Amino acid sequence: MPVQNTQILGRQAEDDALAYLLLQGLVLLQRHFLCKGGELDLIMRDGKVIVFVEVRRRSSTAFGGALASITQAKQRRMVRAAQTYLLGQKSLPPCRFDAVTIDGAQISWLKNILDM
């Protein structure tokens, strides 16, 4: 699949995840936070909690599905990016890492997928 199509599908998955989380009452703080150590797809607020959201899409659950694609290395990059984001905050809010996985047409929201 050409890179351009992959980028379009990735953007659509993020759009779908964002719409889903907004319906659940979360508030968008930032999209596509990039820093030297990593990236965060969505940064949202759930009440007083800052939520760092990784969005993963797979066409099926073959080979473990979308959740299985969040490797240890990816988790380390997420933590580094979150730490960088938090350096810019006036105070340290409670935080968690969530994942929104899209396997085919099935969307799932997994809360607190790793501890910071």
pLDDT digits (tens, 9 = 90+) for 39-80: 999 999 999 999 999 998 876 555 566 776 778 888 899 999
What local confidence, expressed as pLDDT, does residue 116 receive? 46
As a whole-number percent, the residues of the chain with pLDDT over 90 amount to: 55
Whose CA is closest to 50, among 89, 10, 105? 89
Check if the beta carbon of residue 88 is closer than 8 Å to that of residue 52.
Answer: no
pTM (two decimals):
0.88
What local confidence, expressed as pLDDT, does residue 53 receive? 96
Report the Cα 6 to chain-centroid distance in Å: 17
**Per-residue confidence band for 99, with pLDDT thresholds at 50, 70 and 90:** very high
Rounded distance between C-alpha atoms, residue 77 and residue 54, angstroms: 11
